[in-house]
Structure 1
Amino acid sequence: MASHEVLLAFVEAATQGSFSAAGRKLGKSQSTISAAIASLEIDLNLVLFDRSSRNPSLTPAGHVMLQRAEDILAANSRLAMTASQLSQGVEAKLTVAISDTYQSNRFEAALSAFEQRYPDLELECLIAECDDLVALVQRGRAHVAFAEMQEVYPPDLVSATVDERTEIALFVAQGHPLAQAAHIDKEVLQQHRELRLATIVNPYETRAQGRVWSAPSYLMLLEMAELGFGWAPLPRWLVGRFGTGVLQELKVRGWPKPVFVDALWSRLHPPGPAGSWLLGKMLD
């Protein structure tokens, strides 16, 4: 198999248009470049350059092999970069857990920058809510989480508020009786089924009054509401993206409610360089 140096000499000679220009670019003599390419042609049993003119030009086979050589050099570069990152303690995999309450242009921009900085690092995104998000970080299942702000967190977690917020409002299907109600208050709501969020790790944190269906995700509650099973508190952005034309927002005193978002990470399982970099982008 051709060495990195030989492939680089071939690619530069093809790109620069001459062996001498490739030598100047790589800090080598023209004869060294010529010898490297001749060796490569022998190994491949192919003629890569037409040398009949003053400046050699690629043969048809040379054009094909140039693409392959560039692919190999790019793969070698990614391999070296990944090895360097791992040797510096960069995570082999980063897991981020996020609440459906949080629609963030900042997060999308941070992911785009993250992909450029760590193109070969595996990224896993989990969706969870409230206590489930906290549990994921506590167990080390997620390195970083973006969760609906809570008043108190376990002492093993660190939190920092993200400079963005969202809103949660009450919604029903357009054919639901509440959609035509002129006046809606707490007593009226209790006459109809509530679709409420219930986390997996702590499903009975608060007892609801009246008829209740529950689910651990807002997206599942949205689907229940669309089917007319009851009213549900849902993130406005989620309804705007997935429930437009099907769900109707209820006008109830105290709603919509603002939701602030905290970034969470563990003191016991702190994020590595990649996770810390992502946190920095989100908290700038």
Structure 2
Amino acid sequence: MFNSIDSLTAFVHAAQLGSFSAAARHMGKSQSTVSEAISQLEIDAGVALFDRRTRQPTLTAAGARLLSHAQHVLHSHAALRQQALALQGGEEAQLGIVLSDTFQSQAFETLLTAFAERFPLLSLECLVGEDDDVLALLRSGRAQLGVMRAQGRYQADVSAQAMPGQTAMALYVGAEHPLAQVAQVDEAQLLQHRELRLSTYTSSQAGPHSPRCWLAPSYLLLLELTARNFGWAALPTWLAAQFGHGQLVQLKTANWPQATTLDLVWLRTAQLGPAACWLIEQLQHAGHTVAVR
């Protein structure tokens, strides 16, 4: 039942254009062919779709109810054809990218807009991860591309390309934290207070500066803890500016803020499709420079 796309197309066009003849002209077929296709559809459905007693056929109550379903089937069929053609051309069905919170680019939303227009059927998953977690997600197959703080050296299975520009990290506390009132903070003063430090799921970072240390796997969670005055943390300056909501104070400390560069990474063995390759090319030109001051 309803296994003819041509019959559904004739039904929808006749309903939208108001006559079988108009539907036939639109489809490039004879009126008798369109009329026969609709009649066959009515036999399959077991109901009359059009009232033919008037000069121009009009939808019956049943036809009106089935019209939206027919339109949905045709839309799904078109999407199926388009996806199949894309896959024939080598386009991947889905793509995962994991981004470090140190990456901030004003052009990123614009880039995603262009990506959506260029690859409308691709399923995109955007993940957040830091350091070793980025590489772990690549190796697990969950993601195919990653943007992370530059590591200098990578294992042999990782391809890395430096991204243009740089970002900045600075030390922050909440507005009501005792250190917020200190004009110049030294290391001894930091040691007297809890440190909020990044710790990836894959491996925790050893050697915290403070004996009392809380760990979290994302900079955004560290920001929330910092804003609640639980301790001090090194945070991306763009993240603090955008999400700190005036609750954070940047500490004046020797050797801070610090500039950091980012790498675009993927596995050498990965079979990257057109969408991933396009994204690599665009990300290599996505500026993310944040002033270090």
TM-score (norm 2): 0.84
SS in 2 for 1:237: helix
CA distance in 2, matches of 1:268, 1:168: 33
Q: Report what 2:56 is aligned to.
A: 55
The Cα of 1:192 is off from its aligned counterpart by: 2.6
Change (3 A) 1:175 1:40: same
Structure 1, unpaired ranges of 5+: none
CA distance in 2, matches of 1:265, 1:207: 29
CA distance in 1, matches of 2:77, 2:220: 42
Indicate yes or no: 2:198 matched with 1:201.
no
Give the aligned residue type for 1:126.
L
Change (3 A) 1:117 1:57: farther
CA distance in 2, matches of 1:77, 1:216: 43
Give the aligned residue type for 1:107.
F
TM-score (norm 1): 0.86
CA distance in 2, matches of 1:7, 1:121: 27
CA distance in 1, matches of 2:5, 2:36: 15
Indicate yes or no: 2:276 matched with 1:272.
no
Deviations 1:118-171 (A, max 9, x none): 455433332211122123324544200011223233332222334464432211
Deviations 1:157-212 (A, max 9, x none): 222334464432211011111101122233433333322223343434x6334423
The Cα of 1:218 is off from its aligned counterpart by: 1.1
Q: Report what 1:251 is aligned to.
A: 252
CA distance in 1, matches of 2:146, 2:234: 22
Give the aligned residue type for 2:253.
V
Change (3 A) 1:250 1:32: same
Q: Report what 2:289 is aligned to.
A: none
The Cα of 1:253 is off from its aligned counterpart by: 4.1
Matched-pair contact (CA < 8 Å) for 1:133–1:145: yes
Q: Report what 1:73 is aligned to.
A: 74
Deviations 1:61-114 (A, max 9, x none): 333222111100001112222233334443343221111112334333333344
The Cα of 1:42 is off from its aligned counterpart by: 2.5
Change (3 A) 1:253 1:87: same
| Higher mean C-alpha deviation, range 168-177 or range 8-17 | 8-17
Structure 2, unpaired ranges of 5+: 286-293
CA distance in 1, matches of 2:30, 2:192: 87
Indicate yes or no: 2:60 matched with 1:46.
no
Aligned residues: 283
Change (3 A) 1:64 1:117: farther
SS in 1 for 2:109: helix
Q: Report what 1:100 is aligned to.
A: 101
Q: Report what 2:37 is aligned to.
A: 36
- List, as ranges, runs of 4+ consecutive aligned residues in structure 1 with deviation greater than 4 Å: 116-120
The Cα of 1:250 is off from its aligned counterpart by: 1.7
1:1-284 to structure 2, matched below 5 A, reads 1-2=1-2, 3-163=4-164, 165-204=166-205, 207-211=207-211, 212-284=213-285
CA distance in 1, matches of 2:144, 2:34: 48
SS in 2 for 1:90: coil
Change (3 A) 1:163 1:6: farther
CA distance in 2, matches of 1:251, 1:229: 19
